[in-house]
Chain A
Amino acid sequence: MRLLSSSVLCYLFLASSAMAAQPVPVVTTTTDIAAIVKAIGGDHVAVESIAKGYQDPHFVEAKPSFVRVVNRARMLFNVGLELEVGWLPLLIQGARNPSLMVVDLSQGVSVLEKPSGPVSRAQGDVHPLGNPHYWLDPRNGVIMARRIAQQLKTIEPGDSAYFDQNFTAFESDLTNRRKRWEEQMAPFRGAELVTYHKEWEYLIKWLSLNVLGYVEDKPGIPPTPRHLEELVQTMQQRKVKALLASNYTNPNVPKSIADKTSAKLVMLASSVGGEESIRNYGDLFEAIVGKLAGALK
């Protein structure tokens, strides 16, 4: 009897360890989402990101391994709001994985710059669904994490308690750190700055900073001479202290503008993995807040 029960126990143990050794394959479009999935899914989930942290998620060069990863995954998390529109629909079609569940994490986030009413030409280059760089506000990170936990539960209901526990830990840790970052940035509330592209809007709103202008209104279209002249004048008059650009932009143009003014060029990682030291979602804000506070001092 004892022998039997111990063998049953042994069997159960083996079965559970076999299950633990088979983590659920999940794929994400960006490293930020991958970092949050890792925090929530722990070792029960094997997550891979398609874009690298130092790459512009608008443009991703197609490689055969992407098709393989998406073909094997059970769930795909993406940023949405047309950020990955240039390559993700093609990749999903090409991967031929009918059981893949695609989760657009922008649902539930309050999106900035969402055009109200019909989009007209007068508004210039508008993202018809709103600004997609919402992961750059840690409060949105919590919303994303909650949704990720919810979705992971649907494919692995047995691990619900584990995902919930990880979510709670993630949320409380991020909230505590967020309060510290807010304190660190409190002296700079209302500080005026200029950004290269419109990709820092969420960060800026979170920290109550004030954007006076952009170098490039449209990605890839060089600014006109008059626009640059006006921008430099404004920066000189208002004594703007910082010009933000993500670290995958070519630094030549922003550097030449910063040199003409008193502004410091701040090249920030906009995703996890954008710098070697940024390994998880919290690290990203640690790096951003550190650099910003340094420049605005």
Chain B
Amino acid sequence: MSEFLAIMAAPFAASLVVTGIHVYLGLHVVRRGVIFVDIALAQIAALGAAFALLLGMEIHGGEAYWVSLAFTLIGALIFSITRSRRARIPQEAFIGIVYAVSAAAAILVVDRAPGGAEHVKDLLVGSLLFVQWGTVVKIALLYAIIGLLHWLWRKPMWEISNMNEWEKGQGRRSWIWDLFFYSTFGCVVNASVGIAGVLLVFSYLIVPAVCAMLLVERTDNGTVKVGKSLYVGWLVGFVVSVVGCYFSYYWDLPTGATIVVTFGGTLLLVGLIRTLFLV
């Protein structure tokens, strides 16, 4: 048991920190129907890192971080503009395009860059098992600040996430709030992907939110009951983190992949509970 704690304590703490903010942002993401936006933003950040490499910067250094952040903000700008103007085209189409183009562009940039090309790949495959306590504290602080901002502006944020495409096209100020949403979201996703990898971040974002939507009834006008959904989502995230870390240790499996599969199993279970008891 003590050995289990010694090995798994930091990864477990990191997964709880990730759960905290991702479940909340996940409710927004699922409500907005922009499911793959995190993967697209992570890929843009990786493109930024590759670009920094081309400029001769150290990929894990401070300068590269700012370049990658700048690229993320550009991505956020693209998503906020395309969402409010082009109601005819689904937002997921733009997200898919941004993902594919930035992934391909990263290959082209890395091809021209000097050594260290393999590290661009590292940015998308963080390793939860090896996370350091210092990193856990850092992301906890970052997520607390972003969480606070989202709490302060929860009203306009939920108004926009609950809007349909047509209403969205009418609102003038809405793209500013969208920019805020995608920018903060981009910061969170970048930090999380660096320690947990794309697959795990995606699962933490989407699966608890979907479980919450299956279990928590909607309000009369069809919007999400945020408080209740959040508690259910956090519970799911917490339980899956505990069980996933334990499975990973017990059967000696790669930690990130184990948690993702545990999420899949949990969703199946929740779906079963819903069909048997709730509907």
Chain A residues in contact with chain B, CB under 8 A?
A: 58, 61-65, 67-68, 71, 86-87, 90-91, 93-94, 96, 119-121, 123-128, 218-222
Contact = CB atoms under 8 A, between A and B. Distances in A.
A221 B117 contact: yes
B122 A218 contact: no
Contacts of B115: 119, 125-128
Contact of A64 (B107, B122, B129, B131): B129
Contacts of A120: 114
The dominant DSSP class at the B interface is helix
B114 A64 contact: no
B153 interface: no
Contact of A68 (B7, B107, B131, B257): B7
Interface stretch (B154-162, B235-243, B247-255): B247-255
B10 interface: yes
Contacts of A91: 130
A71 B3 CA distance: 10
Interface string B123-135: 0000111111000
B118 interface: yes
Contact-residue size bin, chain B (C-beta under 8 Å from the other chain): 20 to 34
Contacts of A87: 127, 130
A119 B115 CA distance: 9
Given A68-B7, A93-B130, 18 more contacts: A62-B254, A63-B129, A63-B252, A64-B252, A67-B129, A68-B3, A71-B3, A86-B118, A90-B127, A90-B130, A94-B7, A94-B129, A94-B130, A125-B115, A218-B110, A219-B118, A221-B107, A221-B110
B56 interface: yes
The dominant DSSP class at the A interface is loop
A62 B130 contact: yes
B121 A96 contact: no
Contact of A121 (B56, B249, B255): B56
A175 to B, nearest CB: 36
B217 interface: no
Contacts, number: 74
Contacts of B249: 64
Interface of B: 3, 6-8, 10, 56, 107, 110-111, 113-115, 117-119, 121-122, 127-132, 248-249, 252-255, 257
Given A63-B252, A87-B130, A96 B6 contact: yes
A120 B114 CA distance: 7
Contact of B118 (A62, A93, A220): A220
Given A58-B118, A220-B117, A64 B7 contact: yes
A128 B117 CA distance: 12
12 contacts: A58-B118, A63-B253, A64-B129, A67-B129, A71-B6, A94-B129, A94-B130, A120-B114, A121-B114, A126-B115, A218-B110, A220-B117
A57 B254 CA distance: 16
A125 to B, nearest CB: 5
A162 to B, nearest CB: 31
Given A93-B130, A93-B132, A126 B114 contact: yes
Nearest to B128: A62
Given A61-B254, A65-B252, A94-B130, A86 B117 contact: no
Contacts of A86: 118-119, 122
Contacts of B117: 125, 218, 220-221
B108 to A, nearest CB: 9
Contact of A124 (B3, B56, B114): B114
Contacts of B129: 62-64, 67, 94
A77 B211 CA distance: 46
A185 to B, nearest CB: 32
- Chain A CB within 10 A, most for which of B110, B115, B257: B115
Contacts of A222: 107
A222 B252 CA distance: 33
Contacts of B10: 94
Contacts of B3: 68, 71
Contacts of A61: 254, 257
